[in-house]
Amino acid sequence: MKLRITPLNIVGALGLSLIVVSLLSEKQTAPRYIDLSGFYLLILSCLVLVTFITDLIFRFTLKDIKRIWIIESIFIVVTVILMLILQKVV
């Protein structure tokens, strides 16, 4: 099996590393401290799981790595835009 790095893998790895850093870091009130409560960690872990599942779906449906990069990049951009729109509405 070939190791193919895709944009959703990168986003999932960043989310997973943020979860690990948040769980293992000391609880403090430093200016650069990222405070994630348990609820936000749960949501972030669900999003990481959905990211990996979505990446697998794209890998099985698309065989060309260039098309995977294009489609997944568009998917990430659309998702970020929708999140920003929902944040402004609520």
37 pLDDT band (50/70/90 cuts)?
Answer: confident
pLDDT of residue 30: 60
Per the structure, the complete domain to which residue 81 belongs is given by 7-23+30-89
The total number of structural domains that make up the chain = 1
Secondary structure (DSSP) of 55-90? HHHHHHH---HHHHHHHHHHHHHHHHHHHHHHHHH-
Q: Count Cβ atoms below 10 Å from residue 6 Cβ, excluding itself.
A: 18
User: Rounded to an integer, what distance in angstroms lies between the CA atom of residue 79 and that of residue 90?
Assistant: 16
18 domain residue, yes or no: yes
66 domain residue, yes or no: yes
User: Rounded to an integer, what distance in angstroms lies between the CA atom of residue 81 and that of residue 56?
Assistant: 23
Which H helix or E strand runs over 19?
helix 7-24
pLDDT at 78 > cutoff 90 = yes
74 domain residue, yes or no: yes
2 domain residue, yes or no: no
pLDDT at 73 > cutoff 80 = yes
